[in-house]
Amino acid sequence: MYHLSMRVKIFITGGTIDGYEYSSEDQAPSEKQTFIPKLLKSFGFMTPYSIEELMNKDSRFITDEDREIITRRCTECEERNIVITHGTITMVETAKYLKSKHIGKTIVLVGAMVPANQEGTDGPDNLKRAFGEVQKLPAGVYISMSGRMFEADNVRKNIEKGLFEELA
């Protein structure tokens, strides 16, 4: 039996990793189905995890009210290791928001530049890294993107290069 401190909680919020990209809220898809459970099952992880869908949004439309929902669920869940799928456009903003709340758990936000169900996606690799690292890192808020792990307050999305990088 695994101790609760070893379990991983995964919160789904949407974003490109799940194919949620749209330019206005009225264009949001009415049929919403996440790829994440299928991806996780295919990885064959031995560490137990549970998944909870909080929202399915393009991150351009994530509000501070949404961030409060994410914060509340991170605080309330029993697990100490948390992975949050999130769109890349406002991922850094949400990571900094969570860090400012001093939750005292290890939280890794993860996303993709290409939807996880498309060829050439970085989503599965980013998700695998997030899942593995969330079990090793000290309490804090991190981002798993571009083949690396970043601290929440030392990262930016470089739109021109199409990747995440440390701040200079």
Spatial contact of 40 and 12, defined as CB atoms under 8 Å apart: no
d(CA 124, CA 115): 10
**Residues forming beta bridges with residue 83, ordered by sequence position:** 10, 108
Domain membership of residue 87 (yes or no) is: yes
Domain membership of residue 66 (yes or no) is: yes
Say how many domains are in the chain: 1
Confidence (pLDDT) at 53: 93
CATH number (domain holding residue 78): 3.40.50.1170
- Helices in the chain by DSSP H: which ranges? 36-43, 64-76, 91-100, 123-134
Answer whether residue 116 shows pLDDT above 90.
Answer: no
Is the pTM above the cut of 0.75? yes
Domain membership of residue 16 (yes or no) is: no
Between strands 148-151 and 140-145, the pairing is antiparallel
Q: Which domain holds residue 50?
A: 34-153
Domain membership of residue 164 (yes or no) is: no
Domain membership of residue 134 (yes or no) is: yes
Per residue in 56-109, pLDDT (tens digit) is 888 888 999 999 999 999 999 999 999 999 999 999 999 999 999 999 999 999
Domain membership of residue 137 (yes or no) is: yes
Q: How many CB atoms lie within 10 A of CB 57?
A: 22
Average pLDDT of every residue of the chain:
89
Domain membership of residue 59 (yes or no) is: yes
CA atoms within 13 A on the CB side of 141: 23
